[in-house]
Amino acid sequence: MQFLILGSAAGGGLPQWNCLCENCRLAYRRDGRLTARTQCSVAVSADGENWVVLSATPDLRQQIISNPELHPKCAPRHSPIKAVFAPNGDIDNIAGLLVMREMQPFALFATRSVMAHTEGGVFGVLNADLVQRRPIALDESVDTGLGFTITAFATPGKIPLYMESRNEAEIELGAEGESTVGLEIRDGDRRFYYIPSCARMTDALRKRLEGAEILFFDGTTFEDDEMIRQGLSPKTAWRMGHMAMNGERGSVRTLADVDIGQRIFVHINNSNPALRHDSAERRQVEAAGWRIGHDGLRIDTAEARS
């Protein structure tokens, strides 16, 4: 199996177009202490020729151009991208579908709840004769036809931002359902996971991840109140539907005793100090056995085993 991180940042990327937090300031200056990042997406392939994109971000066109594996190759109109899987209905995960409107066949996988966000309106530019919509049920193993299966399972989260009520009391945080899912990629007995959004760790999720070969996991913030302390937002990570890396309920601690081969943070917000190569937070994360994912990171499981 081959995995390619197309983008590793949370919504807005790094640098974000309207942000001058410390990390964005360094990124605009092209400071070597960190690298610029596009919004979170991972491509997966069994043969290195045919790919499924997990999360179609607003940065998808740039991500395709930056990765030769996804360039057209064998015809005037061609793409190695055979399918897209949207794990939730947030703009970060579906807006890139509009980049794929130029009459190219591909399959779109999503839960029925998420699929509904891509039907009608501006998404009508996707030609129904070419784009095969495949709504899936939770915990249903889907054969991609490309040498591996994908299973969507509920992770604690929330509905997309644009669907939220203006009444905070009506917003259900940490809910489990079709709105936010993790993806299990299975190649025979080997299991790999892509979980870009997770509001809290549950016993069921810990059990599911036991024995995973690779985990790409939500690394939005280092501390839950990080964006508040930096004066960037009044929201905690929890309020946004994400876990922090650090803390008693953070992902580093709650997954510490789970047997996972490679654990890689993705969907990292521009506020997160662990993005800086020389930060204490980066050292802490790496000492705990985690990698900070970056755009262009390639993992070939055949090479890892050799």
Residues 172-192: tens digit of each pLDDT = 788 888 999 999 999 999 999
Instruction: Please tell me the predicted confidence (pLDDT) of residue 303.
Output: 77
What would the two tokens of residue 49 be?
């020729």
Alpha helices in the chain (DSSP H): 22-28, 60-66, 91-94, 112-115, 203-209, 226-229, 237-240, 251-254, 280-287, 301-305
Q: Which residues pair with 109 in a beta bridge?
A: 85, 134
Residues 47-75: tens digit of each pLDDT = 999 999 999 999 999 999 999 999 999 88
**Which of 46-60, 83-97, 150-164 is least confident?**
150-164
pLDDT band at 165 (very low <50, low <70, confident <90, very high): low
Residues 188-208: tens digit of each pLDDT = 999 999 999 999 999 999 999
Maximum distance among all Cα pairs of the chain, rounded to whole angstroms = 55
CATH code at position 104: 3.60.15.10
Domain that holds residue 272: 2-305
Q: Please state the domain count of the chain.
A: 1
Going by C-alpha positions, the residue among 296, 288, 240, 264 that lies closest to residue 66 is 296
What would the two tokens of residue 244 be?
């922090």
Residues 228-284: tens digit of each pLDDT = 999 999 999 999 999 999 999 999 999 999 999 999 999 999 999 999 999 999 999
pLDDT band at 305 (very low <50, low <70, confident <90, very high): low
Instruction: Please tell me the predicted confidence (pLDDT) of residue 113.
Output: 94
Residues 122-152: tens digit of each pLDDT = 999 999 999 999 999 999 999 999 999 999 9
CA distances 116 to 68, 89, 121, 135, 162, Å, are 32, 9, 11, 9, 14
Q: What number of residues does the chain have? A: 306
Residues 208-238: tens digit of each pLDDT = 999 999 999 999 999 999 999 999 999 999 9
Alpha-carbon gap, residue 151 to 161, rounded angstroms: 25
Model confidence at 306: pLDDT above 60 = no
Model confidence at 167: pLDDT above 90 = no
Better-scored residue on pLDDT, 160 or 108 = 108
Instruction: Please tell me the predicted confidence (pLDDT) of residue 150.
Output: 98
